[in-house]
Amino acid sequence: MDVPVSRRALPRWQFELTWALFEYHLERLEPDDFLWEPAAHCWTVRQQPDGTWVPDWADTEPDPVPVPTIGWLTWHIGWWWSVALDHTQGRAPRERTEITWPGDGKAAVEWLRGLRAEWLAALDGLTDADLDAVAPFPWQGDPAHTVTHMLAWVNSELMKNAAEIGQLRLLRAASPR
């Protein structure tokens, strides 16, 4: 039996499924999980003299790629999601350096949950015409990609980052302390 699915309902369903899987790990994170360095070669977030937290970064991806901390990954999600929201809502997109980590695990989780609420509100406001528009991000206006593609990209990127956070959480829990 074919069940018709609206063009907005399927990406939202996929997002909610991904978020539910992510929430499983968010609820179980401990404060020390966020800055745990799983390898000698890793990227994390570091507190600056002014109190802000900034991520390790390289404009050219290093080889080998550093293993990220959960803190770095939560910043990364906050960065790309904030910029996707800027584009979706017609705001000037923020630069990577303008988006800092909140400073601790609890605040990072609340930040991500706030972005989720903002994202759902943005999704609810999209029309069919919006879905067919050229995606402003992350393809920088490539006419081959629509806002519907961007929604699918957000879901995929969130699932990838959620899986990375989950794996790091499990590895730390299984490691001797």
Q: Please, what are the domains in the chain?
A: 9-51+67-174 (1.20.120.450)
Rounded distance, CA 162 to CA 65, Å?
18
Identify the residue whose tokens are 């393809």: 139
Number of Cβ atoms within 10 Å of the Cβ of 72? 25
pLDDT of 86 strictly over 90: yes
Tell me the per-residue pLDDT of 39-68, one tens digit each, with 9 for 90 and over.
999 999 999 999 999 999 999 999 999 999
d(CA 101, CA 45): 7
Say how far apart CA 135 and CA 17 lie, in whole Å.
23
pLDDT, tens only, 129-176: 999 998 888 877 778 899 999 999 999 999 999 999 999 999 999 998
Answer for the pair 35, 176: CB distance below 8 angstroms, yes or no.
Answer: no
* Residues in a beta bridge with 146: 134
